[in-house]
């Protein structure tokens, strides 16, 4: 009987995989249109002039002193930030995954929140924390003399802020790896008398070696492509990285420098692409098949002294990475002008009234961000359902290829995606006769391209958990693939789609890297306006916008956290396995 059931299931799966393969055609078209075409256009423009190869001018562009300085600064800041992220995020992951401590899930949630806050908001928060005008240092009587340099507005400051901002990437990558370790290995070691340090050294460290390498490289590539933090902390002192160099050249000279800017974007893409290939290789090194019934749980019961040290570490980390910068940003938003000490007499909500109710440009920016982020999130939520269904059911051996192409625009620096979109949509569309450049639609398309993985990954994970018997029953009743997708599969995927929609909305609403190059009159976003206010010296108004975005991100994260019981294991990355 068991064999018959197994054969029946195998036959059912074979039928489900064969019938309805035409659903894969739109997936191929979408991936080709939004990923392959823009990146191919970028490479074509960078490598040719009117169809003729331009390798020599391209190499000259890469070799000029300004480009070499930007490459060196990018490598230095990314390398230093990677080391700091590994130290901080790796320690946090081991504590969360191994130790039975109160508040582990809250710590993971808050530490992840520090990463999901937009980079330019984080940079502004840290910038207001130190320096002679710092409201926190002024309140404590520790502010340096007027005119003193802010230590964070420097190459070293970029390293520190990037390292702290991307440390949660390391934590989440290692926690995902720890979920693949069967808890039976730890139990067996404990039965042989092994202690927590021995289990970490002899079991976890070897099994997670690939994840450690992948986590470090992910932190490196995230820092390498970051625009907001180097822009706010580096541009004022002329410390340029590749993304900020591209931004400065394009905004200074306009579309006339697109071939040269495309060359810089191609260089950025090549460096990031090599690192991403290494990530995929290392992430599979030493990986184990996950044990669905008994993934690794917290197994270490610290002594009272160790518990006090670990809790102090977690509290200090949250204080430095999240609490103090946010409090400093809040204080900066509640004074009449930046540099005025925060006292009961100077406390005012003028900045909030200004940016939320009085300034027409800011109100339009909030409305634009709501529209663009909301529409992108809804469209990607709808797209992810048939795409996940088609990839899971029909892609077969091509599935990794489709996933790689879908992930690529999100993994690459946003500045590369923006340049690629400009190159594709600068000229009028064929047959249509109009251009999307300098319209809100090009920003929307860039969001659809960049944030697709945030919708597709949780939907694919939920699709993988869906029993094939549900579709088999529908097929026996005569339902074709499209009908099964609409009536049986889609309703089961709604919780995962909802989580993806929320994540896309909060990422797109505060996004700056893409929209900084694609915005035009009437299509400014919240990130663009906030960056412009800071550049213009209106720090209190910029801080008010920053606090508003932090509140929005926090609310979205809480909603996603509430959806966790309805989602597949691991879909909410900051949720540790309960021990």
Residue 503 lies in a domain: yes
Residue 505 CB partners (closer than 8 Å, separation 6+): 373, 374, 376, 377, 556
Residue 34 lies in a domain: no
Q: What pLDDT score was predicted for residue 522?
A: 80
CA 265, CA 492: separation in Å to the nearest integer?
Answer: 41
pLDDT for 77 beyond 70: yes
CA 446, CA 464: separation in Å to the nearest integer?
Answer: 28
**407 in the same domain as 340:** no
Residue range 426-479, pLDDT digits in tens: 888 776 677 888 889 999 999 998 998 888 888 887 887 777 767 767 766 766
**70 in the same domain as 111:** yes
Residue 9 lies in a domain: no
**373 in the same domain as 325:** no
What φ, ψ does residue 510 adopt, rounded to 5°?
-100, 10
Are 137 and 52 in contact by the 8 Å Cβ rule? The answer is: no
Determine the straight-line distance between the first and last CA of the chain, rounded to whole angstroms: 38
CATH code, 479: 1.10.3720.10
Residue 10 lies in a domain: no
Tokens of 163: 């390292």
Residue 39 lies in a domain: no
Residue range 136-166, pLDDT digits in tens: 788 777 778 877 888 899 999 999 999 999 9
The 3-state DSSP class for residue 300 equals strand
**550 in the same domain as 496:** yes
Residue 227's domain spans which residues?
54-290+302-347
The 3-state DSSP class for residue 52 equals strand
CA 37, CA 165: separation in Å to the nearest integer?
Answer: 32
**355 in the same domain as 317:** no
**468 in the same domain as 338:** no
Task: Tell whether the torsion through CA atoms of 406, 410, 416 and 420 is positive or negative.
Answer: positive
**367 in the same domain as 354:** yes
**379 in the same domain as 273:** no
Are 165 and 119 in contact by the 8 Å Cβ rule? The answer is: yes
The lowest-confidence range among 294-298, 304-308, 444-448 is 294-298
Residue 18 lies in a domain: no
CA-closest candidate to residue 275, choices 78, 88, 47: 78
Tokens of 264: 């810089």
Residue 186 CB partners (closer than 8 Å, separation 6+): 199, 203, 296, 299
Residue 576 lies in a domain: yes
Q: Where are the beta strands (DSSP E) in 268-335?
A: none
Q: What pLDDT score was predicted for residue 71?
A: 92
Q: Once rounded to an integer, what is the mean pLDDT over residues 405-423? A: 85
**395 in the same domain as 334:** no
In the chain, % of residues over pLDDT 90: 20
pLDDT for 288 beyond 60: no
Residue 54 CB partners (closer than 8 Å, separation 6+): 47, 48, 259
Number of domains in the chain: 2
Q: What is the mean pLDDT of the chain?
A: 83
Are 58 and 265 in contact by the 8 Å Cβ rule? The answer is: no
Give the best-scoring range by mean pLDDT among 44-48, 149-153, 336-340, 556-560.
149-153
Q: What pLDDT score was predicted for residue 291?
A: 45
Residue 3 lies in a domain: no
Q: What pLDDT score was predicted for residue 8?
A: 40
This prediction's pTM: 0.84
């Amino acid at each position: 009987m068991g064999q018959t059931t197994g054969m029946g299931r195998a036959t059912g799966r074979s039928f489900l995989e064969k019938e309805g393969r035409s659903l894969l055609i739109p997936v191929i078209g979408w991936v080709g249109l939004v990923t392959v075409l823009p990146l191919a256009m970028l490479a074509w423009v960078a490598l040719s002039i009117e169809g003729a190869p331009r390798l020599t001018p391209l190499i000259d562009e890469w070799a000029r002193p300004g480009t070499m300085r930007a490459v060196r600064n990018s490598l230095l800041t990314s390398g230093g930030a990677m080391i700091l992220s590994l130290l901080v995020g790796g320690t946090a992951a081991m504590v969360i995954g191994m130790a039975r401590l109160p508040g582990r899930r809250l710590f993971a949630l808050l530490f992840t929140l520090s990463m999901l806050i937009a980079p330019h908001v984080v940079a502004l928060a840290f910038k207001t924390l130190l320096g002679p005008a710092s409201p926190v240092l002024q309140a404590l009587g520790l502010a340096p003399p007027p005119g003193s340099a802010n230590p964070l507005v420097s190459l070293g400051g970029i390293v520190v802020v990037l390292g702290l901002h991307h440390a949660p990437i390391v934590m989440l990558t290692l926690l995902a790896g720890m979920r693949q370790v069967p808890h039976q290995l730890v139990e067996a070691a404990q039965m042989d008398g092994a202690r927590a340090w021995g289990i970490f050294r002899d079991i976890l460290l070897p099994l997670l070696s690939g994840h450690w390498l992948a986590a470090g490289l992910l932190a490196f590539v995230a820092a390498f492509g970051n625009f907001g933090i180097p822009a706010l902390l580096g541009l004022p002192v002329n410390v340029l990285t590749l993304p900020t160099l591209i931004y400065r050249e394009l905004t200074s000279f306009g579309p006339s420098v697109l071939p040269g800017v495309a060359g810089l974007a191609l260089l950025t893409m090549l460096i990031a692409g090599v690192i991403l290939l290494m990530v995929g290789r290392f992430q599979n090194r030493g990986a184990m098949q996950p044990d669905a019934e008994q993934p690794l749980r917290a197994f270490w019961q610290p002594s009272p002294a160790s518990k006090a040290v670990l809790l102090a570490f977690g509290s200090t980390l949250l204080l430095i990475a999240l609490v103090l910068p946010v409090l400093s940003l809040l204080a900066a938003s509640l004074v009449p002008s930046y540099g005025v000490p925060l006292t009961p007499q100077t406390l005012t909500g003028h900045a909030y009234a200004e940016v939320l109710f009085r300034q027409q440009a800011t109100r339009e920016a909030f409305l634009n961000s709501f529209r663009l982020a909301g529409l992108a999130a809804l469209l990607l939520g709808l797209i992810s359902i048939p795409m996940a269904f088609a990839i899971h059911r029909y892609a077969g051996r091509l599935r990794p290829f489709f996933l790689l192409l879908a992930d690529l625009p999100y993994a690459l620096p946003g500045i590369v995606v923006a340049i690629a979109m400009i190159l594709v949509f600068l000229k009028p569309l064929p047959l249509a006769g109009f251009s999307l450049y300098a319209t809100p639609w090009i920003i929307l398309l860039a969001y659809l391209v960049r944030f697709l993985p945030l919708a597709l990954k949780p939907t694919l994970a939920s699709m993988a958990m869906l029993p094939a018997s549900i579709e088999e029953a529908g097929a026996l009743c005569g339902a074709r693939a499209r009908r099964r997708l609409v009536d049986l599969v889609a309703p089961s995927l709604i919780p995962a789609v909802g989580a993806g929609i929320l994540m896309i909305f909060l990422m797109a609403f505060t996004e700056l890297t893409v929209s900084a190059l694609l915005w035009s009159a009437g299509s400014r976003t919240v990130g663009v306006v906030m960056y412009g206010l800071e550049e213009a010296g209106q720090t209190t108004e910029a801080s008010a916008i920053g606090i508003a975005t932090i509140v929005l991100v926090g609310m979205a994260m809480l909603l996603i956290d509430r959806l966790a019981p309805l989602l597949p294991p691991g879909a909410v990355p900051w949720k540790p396995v309960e021990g």
